[in-house]
Amino acid sequence: MIQIAVLGYGTVGSGVVEVINTNHSSINKKAGEEINIKYVLDLRDFPGDPIQEKVVHDFDIILNDPEIRIVVEVMGGVEPAYTFTKKALLAGKSVCTSNKELVARHGAELLDIARERNINYLFEASCGGGIPIIRPLNSSLTADEIDEITGILNGTTNYILTSMIQDGSEFADVLKKAQELGYAERNPEADVEGYDACRKIAILSSLAFGRQVDFEDIYTEGISNITAADIKYAKAMDMNIKLLAYSKKVGECFYAMVAPALLGPNDPLYSVNGVFNAIFVHGNVLGDAMFYGSGAGKLPTASAVVSDVVDEAKHLHRNIMSFWSSHKLELTDISNSQKRFFVRAKGDPKTELARTEEIFGTVRPVIVPELEGEYGFVTEIISEAQYKAMAERHGKVISRIRIRHS
């Protein structure tokens, strides 16, 4: 029997208990031994819940119990999760987590400690919820050099954008509805401003490229400026708008960015709708691959956490995670990154297009008749810096959205 402890009895923590209870026989078979939850750490008590008899309030009870081999950290936030995780690993206990903030900030260090002790620090649930992506990157795509990861990594923003496209509503109205339905937090900033997706792409990029990508270095733009008018233009182009988090290796340069982007119907990410997430990966021999599923939610996230528990149970004395070096990967300034831009500008295209083409070069106009006094156009492939200079020179630009794979 392998004794484990769960830190935090919130949504994910109670999901972990539920998954282990529901599928105990198949999980024990796959782990090769019975998995037993000995402790649940929480500040609260849960009278009437069968979990109550396992609840402890003091982490040291877990730390000092030599029977505990695996610690499931599902508290979220950097502290005290970081301190607890580090202590557990230093005490020779494997740890698994859904905590993207912690992994993005201290992953390299915690992986180092686990490797030195021949135990494991796993974090399948930190990116893409239930979607298997960390383990495939670590142990499936080993024949490839990964040169691109592009993900729809946040369910809240994908739900909002999908609703805006389906209903034609404005951002603020859809956000309000999403909050009422529980798909968005009362303070939605981390989701809608892209911070959540930014941490996740930092983790995925660090793993894929083998070196520390600091999330603070990633240019991040949210979806709060996307309007119903933008959606009308997207529809006119037969395109979708998604919040994409991507990192790309172009020659010796590494780019990373979180921003809304337009994509067409041939893009596998085009039809990833609602609260679903997906991660597109390009390998130099594999070509295109995509992993799709529930990016959040109690049980899907718990499914990923428990798959880490099983892997740790199977590898109690064997480190299986490829590490990322704490040596920092310097991202290239995105001002050099090249793509097409969709641009909205004030004025009448009949009189303005010639001047626009003088500045932007050949463009493809996009006209939505009901939007009077403005027009849209798609640029050639230009750099972010070029776009910025052209838009300033033009003087009548309302907004722009990047286009994927241009």
Interface mask toward a second copy for 358-397; x: CB under 8 A? ----------------------------------------
Interaction between residue 151 and a second copy (CB under 8 A): no
Angle between helices 11-22 and 298-314 (to 10 degrees): 60
Q: What are phi and psi of 127, to 5 degrees?
A: -130, 125
Residue 124 sits in the site that holds a second copy (CB under 8 A) = yes
CB of 402 to a second copy, least distance (A): 22
Q: Positive or negative CA dihedral for 266, 268, 269, 270? A: positive
Query: What is the bridge-based pairing of β-strands 397-403 and 253-263?
Result: parallel
Residues designated catalytic:
200
**Selected binder of a second copy within 283, 353, 355, 399 (CB under 8 A):** 283
Taking the complex as a whole, the smallest distance from the CB of residue 270 to a second copy amounts, in Å, to 7
Residue 147 contacts a second copy per CB under 8 A: no
Question: Is 265 an interacting residue with respect to a second copy (CB under 8 A)?
Answer: yes
Single-letter amino acid, residue 293:
G
Which positions from 298 through 317 interact with a second copy, judged by CB under 8 A? 299-300, 302-307, 309-311
Choice between 79 and 288, CB closer to a second copy = 288
Helical H runs in 150-246?
Answer: 155-167, 171-181, 189-192, 195-209, 228-236
Distance CA 98, CA 104 (A): 11
Find the part of the chain contacting a second copy (CB under 8 A) among 96-104, 128-136, 242-250, 381-389. 128-136
**3-state SS class at 28:** helix
Does 4 bind a second copy (CB under 8 A)? Our answer is no
If one asks whether residue 11 binds a second copy (CB under 8 A), the answer comes out as no
Nearer to a second copy, 284 or 336 (CB): 284
Nearer Cβ to a second copy (52/284): 284
Q: Tell whether residue 284 is a contact of a second copy (CB under 8 A).
A: yes
153 DSSP assignment = -
Q: CB-wise, 136 or 349, nearer to a second copy?
A: 136
Alpha helices for 324-369 (secondary structure H) = 349-360
Nearer to a second copy by Cβ, of 266 and 362: the residue is 266
Q: Please choose, from the candidates 72, 80, 83, the residue with its C-alpha nearest in 3D space to the C-alpha of residue 13.
A: 72
Closest approach of Cβ 338 to a second copy, in Å? 25
Six token digits for residue 127: 């990116």
For 88-144, give the secondary structure using H, E and C: HHHCCCEEEECCHHHHHHHHHHHHHHHHHCCCCEECHHHCCCCCCCHHHHHHHCCCC
Dmax (CA) for the chain in angstroms is 78
Interface with a second copy, residue 291, by CB under 8 A: yes
Q: Both tokens of residue 405? A: 């794979």
User: Per rule CB under 8 A, is residue 182 in the interface with a second copy?
Assistant: no
Burial (0-12, 13-18, 19+ Cβ within 10 Å), 104: buried
322 lines the binding site for a second copy (CB under 8 A): yes
Alpha carbons 158 and 154: distance in angstroms, whole number:
6
The reply to whether 155 sits near a second copy by the rule CB under 8 A is no
Binding site for a second copy (CB under 8 A): 18-19, 22-23, 26-27, 30-31, 124, 130-132, 135-136, 139-145, 265-266, 268, 270-271, 273, 276, 283-294, 297, 299-300, 302-307, 309-311, 322
